[in-house]
Amino acid sequence: MSDSVDRRTVLKGVAASAAAIGPIAQALGAEPDGLQFEAPVPFSYDLFKDQARERAHKPYEPPPRPSPETLQKINYEEWGKIKYRDAFALFANGPGPFPITFFHLGLFFEKAVGMHVVENGQSREIIYEQAYFDMPADSPARDLPAGAGFAGLRIQEPRTGSLDWRHNDWVAFLGAAYFRSIGELRQYGLSARGVALDVAVADRSEEFPDFTQFYIESAAAEDTLTLYALMEGPSIVGAYRFKMTRGKGVVMDIQASLFIRAQSSRFGIAPCTSMYWYSETKKDTAIDWRPEVHDSDGLEMWAGNGERLWRALNNPPRIMVSSFLDENPRGFGLMQRDRVFDHYEDGVYYDRRPSLWVEPLPGPDGRGWGKGSIQLCEIPTDDEIHDNVVAMWVPAQPVPAGAELHLAYKLHWLADSPVPSGLGRVAATRLGRGGQPGLPRPKGVRKFMVEFLGGPLETLPYGVKPELAVSASRGIFGPYQLIEAVPDGVPGHWRAQFDLVVDGADPVEMRAFLKSGDKPLTETWLFQYHPF
Enter the DSSP assignment of 235: T
178, amino acid identity = Y
Q: Does 95 sit behind a cis peptide bond, omega within 30 degrees of 0 on the bond before it?
A: yes
- pLDDT at residue number 8: 32
Confidence check: pLDDT of 216 > 70: yes
In percent, the amount of the chain with pLDDT more than 90 equals 86
Confidence check: pLDDT of 273 > 90: yes
Q: Per-residue confidence at 34, pLDDT binned at 50, 70, 90? A: confident
Given a contact cutoff of 8 angstroms between Cβ atoms, the answer to whether 363 and 407 are in contact is yes
Query: CA–CA separation, 62 vs 113, rounded Å?
Result: 11
Given a contact cutoff of 8 angstroms between Cβ atoms, the answer to whether 518 and 497 are in contact is no
Q: What is the pTM of this model?
A: 0.92
355, amino acid identity = S
Strand partners, 313: none
Q: What is the mean pLDDT of residues 502-510?
A: 95
All structural domains of the chain, each given as residue ranges with its CATH number in brackets, are 1-45+58-175+208-244 (2.70.98.10), 182-199+264-420 (2.70.98.10), 425-529 (2.60.40.10)
164, amino acid identity = D
Q: What is the mean pLDDT of residues 404-421?
A: 97
Given a contact cutoff of 8 angstroms between Cβ atoms, the answer to whether 391 and 322 are in contact is no
Half-sphere exposure of 170 (CA within 13 A, CB side): 29
Q: What is the mean pLDDT of residues 489-512?
A: 96
Listed in sequence order, the DSSP H helices in 3-139 are: 18-21, 45-56, 68-71, 76-80
Dmax (CA) for the chain in angstroms is 87
Nearest by Cα to 422 from 456, 449, 374, 383: 456
Given a contact cutoff of 8 angstroms between Cβ atoms, the answer to whether 259 and 237 are in contact is yes
* Least confident window among 10-19, 232-241, 274-283: 10-19
pLDDT digit string, tens, across residues 163-211: 999 999 999 999 999 999 999 999 999 999 999 999 999 989 999 999 9
pLDDT digit string, tens, across residues 145-175: 999 999 999 999 999 888 999 999 999 999 9
The strand pair at 524-529 and 308-312 is best described as parallel
Q: Per-residue confidence at 22, pLDDT binned at 50, 70, 90? A: very low
Q: Per-residue confidence at 27, pLDDT binned at 50, 70, 90? A: very low
| Mean of the per-residue pLDDT values of the chain | 92
Enter the DSSP assignment of 167: G
Half-sphere exposure of 154 (CA within 13 A, CB side): 22
In percent, the amount of the chain with pLDDT more than 70 equals 93
Please give the distance of CA 285 from its chain centroid, rounded to a whole number: 31
Q: Per-residue confidence at 365, pLDDT binned at 50, 70, 90? A: confident
481, amino acid identity = Q
Nearest by Cα to 456 from 501, 531, 514, 410: 514
Count of positions (residues) in the chain: 532
Phi/psi of residue 349, each to 5°? 60, 60
- pLDDT at residue number 23: 42
Query: CA–CA separation, 12 vs 396, rounded Å?
Result: 54
- pLDDT at residue number 462: 87
